[in-house]
Structure 1
């Protein structure tokens, strides 16, 4: 006959295994991170980042066990103009040498307005600043593959990216498309 201590250990083990089996781990296969920011006089600067790394644990039916962590490499910024990219990597903007990663970590996920839509609350860290940000996203699953997609706004001044400018607007529109598989 098993003693109570051993029974408790087995119970904890099976509960832990049960929780893990309900959380769905996804492996990122491709990631596209783009941004747009308006200049004065109506023009728009567009660009992208590479160097995505992430941990995606997401089950639309079990949001409490969701864990989304992602980062990109600041030095990979690409606007199509080498001189602008060099300026953006510099200390007045992303300071990629001292702050090589831009990261996001989920703190809470809620259901959205319709099926496959969610609202994520994340800690977004750019340079030395971490702020809580609300990000709507969709998650569409087809068997063992899925896609997370989001578009949201970031105020660059809140993260010390450049200074107040009459030529560059404060709000950047960020779009993320992440393809994943189990």
Structure 2
């Protein structure tokens, strides 16, 4: 079998997350600068090898003060830990459109195993003859597992920022 390399198409991809704020609304953010090495056997994504990293300084929640706070030692500590990374240990097929992605997520100097459901949209040729693949990765992590512990109590009870972070990652891959 031949090895196929894939690259993320940044104009059709988004590395996003959502966190509850004040226990009742969501704040969305994304990373604008990231890189990945993805290889498959031919065009079969089962057992794909995936290495991914994102630049912490590229975090964007559409609020400059919040972004600065997220980059600080209270959260990501970008000065000491400028990247988050993910290295897949398995990419297992459930059926034609559903996979499970497992691997190690490294953030703020802490590495923990994670597992996420992936919706595989299949392969398609674009109008210029390029082979594309679509992946939708979702899941949840507890930010405290990686030492992102900062919070503030609310007068009404509860906390300002939820521990749960929901990941929403849309990837369009281009066959290299």
Q: 1:181 to 1:133 in 2, by over 3 A?
A: same
Q: Is the 8 A contact 1:145 1:180 kept in 2?
A: yes
Shift of 1:130: 0.4
Map 1:126-137; keep pairs closer than 5 Å: 126-137=107-118
Distance 1:42 1:105 in 2: 33
Distance 1:73 1:58 in 2: 25
- Structure number with the bigger relative contact order (C-alpha 8 A, sep ≥ 6) is 2
Distance 1:129 1:104 in 2: 11
For these two proteins, the number of residue pairs brought into alignment is 160
Q: Is the 8 A contact 2:133 2:174 kept in 1?
A: yes
Larger Rg: 1
More helix by share: 1
Q: 1:33 to 1:141 in 2, by over 3 A?
A: same
Give RMSD over aligned pairs: 1.7
Q: Does 1:28 align with 2:25?
A: no
Shift of 1:63: 2.8
Match for residue 57 of structure 2? 75
Distance 1:41 1:103 in 2: 28
Distance 1:75 1:96 in 2: 6
Unmatched runs of 5 consecutive residues or more in structure 2 = 126-130, 153-158
In structure 2, the residue corresponding to 1:145 is in which secondary structure? strand
Shift of 1:111: 1.1
Q: Does 1:174 align with 2:167?
A: yes
Map 1:11-160; keep pairs closer than 5 Å: 18=1, 21=2, 23-30=3-10, 31-59=13-41, 61=44, 63-64=46-47, 66-112=48-94, 114-139=95-120, 140-143=122-125, 144-160=131-147
Q: Is the 8 A contact 1:164 1:170 kept in 2?
A: no
CA displacement, residues 65-114 of structure 1 (integer Å, 9 cap, x when unaligned)? x21011110111111111111111001100011111111010012112x3
Task: Name the TM-score, length of structure 1 as normaliser.
Answer: 0.81
Q: Is the 8 A contact 1:141 1:147 kept in 2?
A: yes
Distance 2:102 2:49 in 1: 11
